[in-house]
């Protein structure tokens, strides 16, 4: 009788340290990271611009079933204008300070700036989500290492305004895995413990739609090659625009559900999403399918 190969990706177990002494257990089940944009120009939602609104939404995100809150003060969508560190701190710190002692889930701060990350960790954040993979401000690694935080290193090329010019790959999964491994090595050399590093293949960043779909289709191979826990953030992104019949970002939750399912089946440890409650249900269902396989 022929041997039938396992159809889905494995998801190894990792214990990732958090600032403040906690630990994030990755691998028992896929975790849901809820997105909170404290910006006026977010692509995926209308943006929240007052601390009171942001604090209320953060508590809702926890109540809706998120395992991690990811809060950002600068839009990093393709083509976005950068903001200075002081503006980013002004947006983030009142929210983080207002959540101290009120939120029961870990907080990730979505920034590539060392000074912003340091201030956010002071204000109660536990981990850093760097869309540049330490290529914009390499000194961020020293902050993360010194503070005992964890870091998500995302794959990208170039800056927001020119990243699509860099979207040339001989094999997108092989190339992304190689470049992410180099970023992991750079972080470790700069003092970030290996166990504190999570990787993100950067769906939609410096990738045309076919590249993003290719990464999702072969996510397990990419994860095996890099050897670190994987976060995937496909939520409402433009690579799904054609499948969504041209719908605006806020109307792409059905296509997001398909991409989240593919991520879980491929062995993702964390999925980063806007619509928390429905995506929690998607993740649970996809995980039951993966376990059955």
Flag whether pLDDT at 38 surpasses 80. yes
User: pTM for this one?
Assistant: 0.94
Q: Could you tell me the pLDDT band of residue 42, with boundaries at 50, 70 and 90?
A: low
Flag whether pLDDT at 219 surpasses 60. yes
Flag whether pLDDT at 46 surpasses 60. no
Q: Could you tell me the pLDDT band of residue 79, with boundaries at 50, 70 and 90?
A: low
| pLDDT the model gives residue 9 | 87
| pLDDT the model gives residue 159 | 83
Q: Give the tens place of pLDDT for each residue, 248-279.
A: 999 999 999 999 999 999 999 999 999 999 99
| pLDDT the model gives residue 41 | 58
Q: Which of 1-5, 53-57, 200-204, 283-287 has the lowest mean pLDDT?
A: 1-5
Flag whether pLDDT at 204 surpasses 90. yes
Q: Give the tens place of pLDDT for each residue, 139-181.
A: 999 999 999 999 999 999 988 777 788 889 999 999 999 999 9
| pLDDT the model gives residue 76 | 75
| pLDDT the model gives residue 115 | 98
> What's the mean per-residue pLDDT of the chain?
94
Q: Give the tens place of pLDDT for each residue, 109-124.
A: 999 999 999 999 999 9
| pLDDT the model gives residue 40 | 77
Q: Which of 272, 284, 290, 291 is catalytic?
A: 272
Q: Which of 207, 237, 252, 290 is catalytic?
A: 237
| pLDDT the model gives residue 162 | 74
Which domains does the chain possess?
28-292 (3.20.20.20)
Q: In the chain, what percentage of residues exceed pLDDT 90?
A: 86
Catalytic annotation present for 237: yes
Q: What are phi and psi of 153, to 5 degrees?
A: -105, 110
Catalytic annotation present for 272: yes
Measuring CA to CA, which residue among 25, 113, 18 is closest to residue 72? 113
| pLDDT the model gives residue 81 | 77
Q: Could you tell me the pLDDT band of residue 82, with boundaries at 50, 70 and 90?
A: confident
């Amino acid at each position: 009788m022929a041997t039938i190969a396992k159809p889905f990706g494995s998801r190894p177990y990792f214990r990732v340290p958090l600032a403040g002494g906690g630990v994030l257990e990755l691998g028992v089940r896929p975790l849901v990271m809820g997105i909170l944009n404290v910006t006026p120009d977010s692509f995926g939602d209308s943006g929240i611009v007052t601390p009171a609104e942001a604090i209320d939404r953060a508590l809702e995100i926890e109540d809706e079933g998120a395992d991690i809150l990811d809060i950002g003060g600068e839009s990093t969508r393709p083509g976005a204008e950068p903001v200075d560190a002081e503006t980013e701190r002004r947006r983030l710190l009142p929210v983080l300070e207002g959540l101290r002692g009120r939120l029961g889930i870990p907080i990730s701060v979505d920034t590539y700036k060392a000074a912003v990350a340091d201030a956010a960790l002071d204000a109660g954040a536990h981990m850093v989500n760097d869309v540049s993979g330490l290529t914009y401000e390499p000194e961020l690694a020293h902050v993360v290492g010194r503070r005992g935080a964890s870091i998500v290193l995302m794959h990208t090329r170039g800056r927001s305004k020119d990243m699509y010019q860099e979207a040339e790959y001989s094999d997108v999964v092989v190339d992304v895995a190689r470049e992410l491994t180099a970023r992991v090595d750079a972080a470790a050399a700069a003092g970030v413990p290996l166990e504190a590093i999570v990787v993100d293949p950067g769906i939609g960043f410096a990738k045309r739609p076919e590249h993003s779909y290719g990464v999702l289709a072969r996510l397990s191979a990419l994860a095996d090659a890099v050897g670190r826990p994987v976060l995937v953030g496909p939520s409402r992104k433009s690579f799904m625009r054609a499948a969504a019949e041209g719908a605006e970002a806020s109307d792409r939750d059905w296509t997001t559900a398909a991409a989240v399912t593919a991520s879980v089946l491929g062995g993702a440890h964390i999925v980063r999403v806007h619509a928390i409650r429905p995506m929690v249900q998607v993740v649970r269902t996809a995980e039951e399918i993966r376990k059955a396989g």
